[in-house]
Structure 1
Amino acid sequence: MAELKFDANLKWLFTEVDFLQRFDAAAKAGFTGVEYAAPYIYKATELKRRLTDAGLKQVLINSPTGKPGTPERQGIACMPDKVTQFHADFELALEYAVELESGFIHVMAGIRQEGVSRDRAFARFVSNIIWASEKAKDTNVRILLEAQNKRDAPGFLLESQAHAAAVAEAVDADNVGIMFDVYHAQIDEGDLVPKLQAMLPQIFHVQVADPPRRHEPGTGETNFRTIFDTIRASDYIGWIGCEYSPIGGTVEGLTWIKELAQ
């Protein structure tokens, strides 16, 4: 069986220190890769220096989203009246991803606007992902699509793993795939192992947190030992992002890796 490869989400982990100090903290804790949603308040050159100094790989970033509390907080890719803004946002994300040598850009689908049909929103999202795929085709950056649960993200366009897979199939490009978030999938769908096994050919990245409170694997309702065994027994060679809120200190909470995944 293959060894699993975990990266630290620096939005969620090592919050005991300021953001720019989290790179060194992650490396000291044994991580070799990091991910985070929003790099845009920092210069890409500064982030690249932090990565290099800590000996870390940038795994993913998100494309820009709106401010908390706004309709655009979960992205704008499905909004028919935001196409120009989406293009500008993705081009900025691609600039950062290339500079940081990030493997992925996660493009959040967004919340369906009032008065916009699901079919129209879905069509706009597919069109925008086709455009983004073309923009990224001459880089080493790939695009991730993620379903989110209806409890945390009501109205989010991609409500299930099947919805995300349908977009990837419609786009039909080698650089577009699925981000399988165990937390979101368990809350809304369950039946995780069959879903993982069925979707693995389309899954580019995995994220983990344990419902119901989004803490470390092993602290909630999910059988992570079986999930990790399923991934290890497959052909998946990608990263597994640790996108959870530690119950206590980040480092103290990392014991789950040895207990469940090794």
Structure 2
Amino acid sequence: MKFSANLGFLWNDRPLPDAIRAAKDAGFDAVECHWPYDVPALEVKAALQETGLTMLGLNTRRGDVRAGENGLSAIPGREIEARAAIDEAIDYAVKIGARNIHVMAGFNQSIAGGRTFVENLEYACKQGAKQELTMLIEPLNEHDAPGYFLRTTHQAAEVIDRVGASNLKLMFDCYHVGRTEGDVISRLRDLLPLIGHIQFASVPDRAPPDHGDIDYRTVFSEIEALGWHTPLGAEYKPKGETDASLAWMSTLG
């Protein structure tokens, strides 16, 4: 089993290039991040080349973070900003060799928001296809992100069907699915053709995966049996130093 370090949570007390190096030293096979835009792409690319790691993906900007925004693509009236964020993410991904972009929907659960999300995703997929990039959408659970547009994998599958683009995939986060839908393994089996990336963390506390309501030894075995070979994203919140949270890599991996 291969693993990717999500540097939005792991080693996030370090500059991104140093976090990439720390992930390599810890034995991760790849890295991924949230919002790297304050770091020059050339510095990130240099760290990736130095370590030999691939950056699997990054997120579009959230919008006005101080106002509590968490994505723009499902917000009617914000299309210009949403598409500028998509263009920015594509440009950054190309510069560092990332292949996936998580297009963040934002807080809006209206019918109009759904139409806006589909239209912005159509734009994202068209622009991303020019660079052979995959666009990802991720349901966020109501406990962590109340009011977020995309809440379940069922809803995500409907959006993917409406957009109809071959480069639009589901970011399947076992943590969010576990909190919202419960049966992670059944949903993995059912949704496998739609999945572009898989992430994990313990349920319900979003900590390392070696405890909690989900038996990740079983989940990882099932993922492997399904023929999944891309590194799984460790997107959990360490309780303390990241290096002290990594025992699961040997006990579960």
TM-score, length basis structure 1: 0.92
State the partner residue of 1:193.
Answer: 185
SS of alignment partner, residue 58 of structure 1: coil
Distance 1:19 1:138 in 2: 27
**Corresponding residue pairs, total:** 253
Distance 1:239 1:63 in 2: 21
Matches within 5 A, 1:153-192: 153-192=145-184
Deviation at 1:250, TM superposition (A): 2.0
State the partner residue of 2:213.
Answer: 221
Distance 1:238 1:70 in 2: 35
* AA matched with 2:37: Y
Distance 1:34 1:120 in 2: 35
Deviation at 1:69, TM superposition (A): 4.0
Distance 1:16 1:83 in 2: 33
Distance 1:240 1:62 in 2: 17
Deviation digits for residues 52-74 of structure 1 (CA, Å, limit 9, x no counterpart): 11221010000111243425x21
* AA matched with 2:175: Y
For structure 2, which runs of at least 5 residues remain unmatched after alignment? none
| 1:53 and 2:43 aligned | no
Counterpart contact for 2:16–2:36, Cα < 8 Å: no
Distance 2:93 2:31 in 1: 13
Percent identical residues: 34
Deviation digits for residues 168-220 of structure 1 (CA, Å, limit 9, x no counterpart): 11111111100001111111110111111000110010011112211100222
| 1:30 and 2:22 aligned | no
State which of 78, 81, 87 in structure 2 corresponds to 1:82. 78
Deviation digits for residues 113-166 of structure 1 (CA, Å, limit 9, x no counterpart): xxxx62211111011101110011121211000000001100001110111111
Distance 1:32 1:228 in 2: 16
| 1:63 and 2:55 aligned | no
Distance 2:177 2:204 in 1: 12
Counterpart contact for 2:160–2:168, Cα < 8 Å: yes
* AA matched with 1:140: E
State which of 189, 202, 206 in structure 1 corresponds to 2:198. 206
State the partner residue of 1:44.
Answer: 41
Deviation at 1:229, TM superposition (A): 1.2
* AA matched with 2:223: I
State which of 102, 109, 113 in structure 2 corresponds to 1:106. 102
Distance 2:161 2:231 in 1: 22
CA RMSD of aligned residues (A): 1.4
| 1:152 and 2:144 aligned | yes
Distance 1:177 1:15 in 2: 27
Deviation at 1:16, TM superposition (A): 5.3
Deviation at 1:23, TM superposition (A): 1.3
Distance 1:218 1:31 in 2: 17
SS of alignment partner, residue 159 of structure 1: coil
State the partner residue of 1:233.
Answer: 225
Distance 1:85 1:204 in 2: 25
* AA matched with 1:234: L
Counterpart contact for 2:73–2:104, Cα < 8 Å: yes
Counterpart contact for 2:4–2:31, Cα < 8 Å: yes
Stretch deviating more after TM superposition (138-147 or 234-243): 234-243
Stretch deviating more after TM superposition (178-187 or 11-20): 11-20
Distance 1:250 1:36 in 2: 15
Stretch deviating more after TM superposition (231-240 or 9-18): 9-18
| 1:7 and 2:4 aligned | yes
